[in-house]
Amino acid sequence: MSSSTPSSSAGGVGSADSAAPRRNSKRPKYSKFTQQELPACKPILTPRWVISAFLLVSIVFIPIGVVSLFASRDVVEIIDRYETACVPDGYKNDKVTFIQSNLTKQCNRTLTVKKRMKKPIYVYYQLDNFYQNHRRYVKSRSDSQLKENSSWDDVSSCKPEDMSNDQPIVPCGLIAWSLFNDTYSFSLNNQQLAVNKKGISWKSDRDSKFGKDVFPKNFQNGTLKGGATLNSSIPLSEQEDLIVWMRTAALPTFRKLYGKIEQDLQPNDQILVTLDNNYNTYSFNGKKKLVLSTTSWLGGKNDFLGIAYLTVGGLCFFLALSFIVVYLVKPRRLGDPSYLSWNRNPGGH
C-alpha cells in the first residue's frame, strides 16, 4: 500500500505537467530577412577602393564647385541701404518720430551700374531684423478668408487685427496688416524705367490660395496703420505685392520681389531712384535695402553652393593623397578574406 502511494502521486504530477498549457515562444519565425541573411554587397575596404572612392568624389565635386562659383560671380548686384540716409538730419536721433509724422518721406538715391546687367533685372526690397517667422505673427491670418468669399467673416485666427469698427477685416491678420509700403520709381537719362509687377508671385499662390472673388474690405481703417493699403476694386488674386508678402520668410533677413526691369543696363549708367520711405523699421532697429540683381542658370548670387562643393571635393582629394602616402610609406599586408564570417559560412547556419 505504502509503495503504491508515491507512484500514484508521481503519476499525478506528471499528468498535471502534461495538461498544463505550453508557453508561447516569442522567438520569431526564421527568415533570411529577419536574420539579415539576404544577398548583399559586402565590399572589403582595401586601400585601393578607399583611395579610388575619395578621388572619384573629388573629381566630381571640384568641377561642380568651380562652375557654381563662376555662375554666382556672374550675377551682378546693386545693393543700397537707405533707411538712415533718407531721414532728415534733424531727426537722425529720433527716427521713430519722423516716420510717424506727416512730413514728406520722399527720398532720392543714385545707383551706379558697375557691370553690364542683362534683362530681366529683378528689383527686391530687403529687410533685416524682421522676424516674420514669429509664431504669433505667422498664425495671424485666415487662409479660408483669403481663398473664398463665403468665408469673409472667418477671422477667428487673425487677432489682434480681426475686426475694425465692429466689422471683419479682409484680409485680416498681422501679416496683411504689416504689408510693406515703400515704393520705388527709376529713371535713366531723364527717361522713366518701367517696373513690371506682373508675375512676381508664385502662380500656385495666385491660383490656389487667393480667391478671384475676394476683395479687400475694411482694410487699414483702424487708428494705427501697419503698412500699405489695398485697392478694394481689385481681387486678392491680382494683388501680387500682398501675395509676395504673405509668403512669410524663415529668417530675420530676407528679400522679397518688388518687380522686374525689362531693359539692359550698361556700365557707368546712373540710375536715379525716387522712393517713398514709409515703412517703419526704426521701432525694432531694422534695416531696409534696395537690391537690383540679375540671375544666372543657377539662380541669384549665392557663393555657398560652390564653396560647399569645393570644400568637400578638396577635403576628399586631401584624404586620398594622405592615404596614398601612408599606403606607399608604411604598407600593410591584407588579411585573407576567406576567413570572413560570410565567406566561411555563407548561409548563416
pLDDT of residue 50: 92
Q: Which of 91-95, 124-128, 250-254 has the lowest mean pLDDT?
A: 91-95
Average pLDDT score over residue span 255-264? 95
Confidence of residue 65 (pLDDT cuts 50, 70, 90): very high
Q: How far apart are CA 176 and CA 220, in angstroms?
A: 9
| Phi/psi at 192 (5° precision) | -70, 135
Residue 291 pLDDT more than 70? yes
Q: What is the pTM of this model?
A: 0.79
Q: Which of 70-74, 167-171, 219-223 has the lowest mean pLDDT?
A: 219-223
Confidence of residue 229 (pLDDT cuts 50, 70, 90): very high
Q: Which has more confidence, 308 or 222?
A: 308
Helix axes 304-329, 47-73, angle to 10 degrees: 150
Find out whether the peptide bond into 171 is cis, omega within 30 degrees of 0: yes
Residue 349 pLDDT more than 90? no
Find out whether the peptide bond into 120 is cis, omega within 30 degrees of 0: yes
Residue 169 pLDDT more than 50? yes
Helix (H, G, I), strand (E, B) or coil at 63: helix
